[in-house]
Amino acid sequence: MSIHVKSMDVKDIIKKENLVYKKSPLMTDNVLSYCPGCGHGTVHNIIAEVIEELGIQSQTIAVAPVGCSVLAYEFVDIDWLQAAHGRAPAVATGLKRVMPDKYIFTYQGDGDLAAIGTGETIHACNRGEHITIIFINNGIYGMTGGQMAPTTLAGMVSSTSPYGRDVSTMGNPMKITELVAQLPGTYYVTRQAVHKPSNVRKTKRAIRKAFENQTLKKGVSLVEVVSNCNSGWKMSPVKSNKWMEENMFSFYPLGDIKVDGELVK
Amino acid sequence: MAKQRGAIVVDIERCKGCELCIEACPTSVLRMERKVNGKGYHFAYMEDPGECTGCINCAIVCPDGVISVYRVKVEA
Ligand SMILES: Cc1ncc(C[n+]2csc(CCOP(=O)(O)OP(=O)(O)O)c2C)c(N)n1
Ligand code: SF4
Ligand code: SF4
Ligand code: SF4
Ligand SMILES: [Mg+2]
């Protein structure tokens, strides 16, 4: 049916048959526990959409971390386990080995994956477990009050580096994603963001590929999402995304790092 | 010429007032309501509904998934 544009009332548009987008039906009705504007929610919805589109809801088991996303199992309607801090890749290893045909993924923050869980991350990636890792890097321990993490940028203010991270005493920020891309057990490694519509679309393609790769059994697929922690950074959501673009992306550049087992360059 | 008209519905009580949808809208359709919802958040609404193309940009960046988008084809 075609109607003249000027005579069109909003009420004529908002009808069931004209619906083109709503949040994934795999997102539960629970209100997200995240702060306003936090990228965790955006990534949850992308994961839910990918699982729905691949039709693998009953074949997917996720491992939730410790961090703000500790309650992820309340929000995406699939099977979940919740691992001790940093241990998600080890738990996912066990799951995948006893159920090799299930889709197994971890969902982890940077404190979880790159601080307390560094060992589990590196060894799962080096062993080449056939799992997917979704890594939300907001450069900070969001949940516990914005403490410095290994991923915190040089000069970045956090509650435990109130004058900015001084690398001479506090060490250098770590690009764990580039690090694991060097290991033979990683098959697909990419870094994305979700602050803009175009980035959301790219992240969705990356997460879809990372899930599809599991059927190949060629090792770890890791998708890092550089995200905001507007509460920890003490900025409004809009300002935090701008700050992220201006400060995070130069150190954590977006794009593919390793595709089909080959380093990109 | 065929053109698209869109409209969005915000689940007001679940909106957290982050304003990311406003940043994402290419045709500046959205504003924040002066009123607040039950949780005390200002919520997004269509200030300029005639400009909505139903591109879904606002909905996919909304961290809380509170935006639904509708779209129709119309004659210019
Ligand atoms: C064994 C253990 N050590 C420390 C903590 C405290 N703790 C809870 S969350 C967290 C860091 C979370 O940061 P991140 O993984 O970056 O997640 P975010 O909240 O930023 O998404 C820490 C250190 C804990 N719960 N368990
Ligand atoms: S503290 Fe940071 S990471 Fe945690 S929900 Fe709030 S904005 Fe998100
Ligand atoms: S659907 Fe597109 S045009 Fe309409 S309000 Fe959302 S972002 Fe703006
Ligand atoms: S992005 Fe979503 S939660 Fe944020 S203001 Fe817009 S509708 Fe509300
Ligand atoms: Mg973090």
Domain ranges of chain A: 32-263
Q: Provide the residue type at A122 as one letter.
A: I
Residue A265 is predicted with a pLDDT of 83
- How far is C-alpha A171 from the geometric centre of its chain's CA atoms? 25
Look up residue A106 and give its two tokens.
Answer: 């971890």
Residue of A nearest to B75 (CA): A4
Q: Which ligand sits nearest to residue B52's alpha carbon? A: 3
Does residue A2 register a pLDDT over 60? no
- What is each CA distance from B54 to A6, A37, A153, A262, in whole angstroms? 16, 22, 38, 39
- Residue A51 three-state SS: helix
Q: What ipTM does the predicted assembly reach?
A: 0.96
Distance CA A143, CA A68 (A): 5
Residues of B in contact with A200 (CB under 8 A): 60-61
Q: Does B18 touch chain A (CB under 8 A)?
A: yes
Spell out the CATH class of A32-263.
alpha beta
How far from chain centre, in Å, is Cα A203? 9
Domain boundaries defined on chain B: 2-75
* A52 vs A4, more confident: A52
| pLDDT score, position A207 | 99
Q: Which residues of B touch A34 (CB under 8 A)?
A: 63-64
**B23 Cα to the center of ligand 3, angstroms:** 10
Q: Are A190 and A206 in contact (CB under 8 A)?
A: yes
Residue nearest to atom 8 of ligand 3 (CA): B25
State the pLDDT at residue B58.
98
pLDDT of residue A76: 98
Q: Å from A17 to nearest chain B CA?
A: 8
Helix (H) or strand (E) holding A135: strand A132-137
Look at ligand 2, atom 2, and give the residue with the nearest C-alpha. Answer: A229
- Residue A82 CA: distances (Å) to CA of A46, A128, A165, A189: 20, 22, 31, 24
* pLDDT above 70 for A4: no
Query: Which residue's C-alpha comes closest to atom 1 of ligand 2?
Result: A142
A8:B74 CB<8 A: yes
Of ligand 1's atoms, which has the minimum distance to the CA of residue A40?
21
* Sequence-ordered alpha helix ranges (H) in A195-252: 197-212, 230-233, 237-243, 249-251
Tokens of A252: 């954590």
Residue A139's identity, in one-letter code, is: G
Neighbours of A166 (CB within 10 A): 11
Ligand 2 pocket, CB under 6 A: A 34-35, 38, 40, 68, 138, 142-143, 229-232
What separation in Å is there between the alpha carbon of B8 and the centre of ligand 4? 12
CB A244 within 8 A of CB A228: yes
- Sort strands A79-82 and B30-36 into parallel, antiparallel or unpaired: unpaired
The predicted structure's pLDDT at residue A5: 65
Q: Does position A190 have pLDDT exceeding 60, yes or no?
A: yes
* pLDDT tops 60 at residue A1: no
Q: Which tokens go with B38?
A: 């039950």
pLDDT in tens, A82-123: 999 999 999 999 999 999 999 999 999 999 999 999 999 999
User: Both tokens of residue B60?
Assistant: 């996919």
Q: Which residues does chain A have within 8 Å of residue B40's beta carbon, measured at their own beta carbons?
A: none
User: Which among A145, A150, A144 has a CA at the least distance from the CA of A165?
Assistant: A150
Summarize pLDDT for A198-251 with one digit per residue, the tens.
Answer: 999 999 999 999 999 999 999 999 999 999 999 999 999 999 999 999 999 999
The beta strands (E) that lie in A68-131 are given as: 79-82, 103-109
Which residue of chain B has the CA closest to A32?
B64
Chain B nearest-CA residue for A204: B60
Length of chain B: 76
Alpha carbon of B61 to ligand 4 centroid (Å) = 8
pLDDT 10s digits, A123-152: 999 999 999 999 999 999 999 999 999 999
Distance CA A100, CA A217 (A): 9
pLDDT surpasses 80 at B17: yes
**Residue B30 touches partner A, C-beta closer than 8 Å:** no
Which pLDDT score is estimated for B75?
79
pTM of full prediction above 0.90: yes
CATH topology of domain B2-75: Alpha-Beta Plaits (3.30.70)
Asked if B68 lies within 8 A of A19 by C-beta distance, the reply is yes
For B25, nearest residue in chain A (alpha carbons): A197
State the Cα–Cα distance between residues A213 and A131, nearest whole angstrom.
9
**What is the pLDDT of chain A when averaged over all its residues?**
97
